Amino acid sequence: MNNRQKRVSAIHDISGFGKCSLTVALPIISAAGIETSVIPTAVLSTHTGGFTGYTYRDLTEDIMPTMQHWKSLNIRFDAIYTGFLGSFRQLDMVAEFFEEFKKPDNLIVVDPVMADNGELYKIFTPEFALGMRKLCEKADIIIPNITEASLLVGEPYQEGPYTGAFIEKLLKKLSAIGPKKIVLTGVYFDEKLLGAAAYDAISDTVDYAFSRKIPGYYHGTGDVFGSALVAAILNDFELSKATEIAVRFTTSSIQRTAEAKTDIRFGVNFEASIPQFLKDLKLL
């Protein structure tokens, strides 16, 4: 039994308030037993979704020196997990990070954070989607929502409910960009269930994982889902099972937050779902 601890490099911003990006990735992946090295791409007082007047300290200038320092230490990563990136320069730097740290047996996971509900986040221009597409070309796994997926393949956003044929066509177009595995979030075929579709291009299989649809749009849930997915994959779960675990973790976090009537901008109470998450991962 090899008990070497696995290690992820998580490259996202830190939003001080309003749980998302690194304030979500770090606790979730660490709780699952995975060492999490971070590159904060920016420090904000809050995320940009629904708040005004937030601070934004850009840390672009620190990315390459961090990479070079880590190279000099000969650090290896079992996965590189990227999320919110604020500029074209950051996309280029992250692409260079992939070149430096990619190994035959490690995984590049790109969450192309840029849009939701049919709209780009306000700080991005449509050209940013082309830059994000280029980064996705280098990924092993991408985790877009349906809005991001539509932007990546250059198609107009379509409102749900969706059909299996629509989702499967979209998954194939996404894998034609480069990644062999796609986990598409925000999939629903009716108003009762919501979940994700996991596509493996090598075996050409699609597996769905659904849970009860909870009304309301809760911020940071894409990052909760992505972090749980990365944690499950690194704990050696197949993509379809990892997707199921991540859907269950995210939904239970949203459910608890909805019951507490928390402001939807503040992020979800994923912390209380961690014990069940660890049981699902067979760590408890």
Question: Which residues from 212-241 bind ligand PXL, rule CB under 6 A?
Answer: 220, 222-223
Task: Closer to ligand PXL by CB, 13 or 244: give it.
Answer: 13
Tell whether residue 20 is a contact of ligand PXL (CB under 6 A).
yes
How many residues at the interface with ligand PXL, by CB under 6 A? 14
For residue 195, give Cα distances in angstroms to 94, 198, 250: 29, 10, 10
Q: Closest approach of Cβ 206 to ligand PXL, in Å?
A: 25
- Cis ω on the peptide bond leading into residue 161 (within 30° of 0)? yes
Tell whether residue 121 is a contact of ligand PXL (CB under 6 A).
yes
What are the contacts of 152-157 at 24+ separation with CB within 8 A? 152/112, 152/177, 153/177, 157/118
Q: Of the candidates 167, 231, 227, which has an alpha carbon nearest to the alpha carbon of residue 199?
A: 167
Task: Closer to ligand PXL by CB, 143 or 175: give it.
Answer: 143
| Beta carbons within 10 angstroms of residue 97's beta carbon | 23
Q: Closest approach of Cβ 123 to ligand PXL, in Å?
A: 7
User: Regarding beta strands 181-187 and 141-142, do their DSSP bridges make them parallel or antiparallel, or are they unpaired?
Assistant: parallel
Query: Given candidates 113, 152, 232, 247, which one binds ligand PXL under the rule CB under 6 A?
Result: 113
Q: Closest approach of Cβ 122 to ligand PXL, in Å?
A: 9
Q: Which residues bind to ligand PXL, rule: CB under 6 A? A: 13, 15, 20-21, 44, 47-49, 84, 113, 121, 220, 222-223
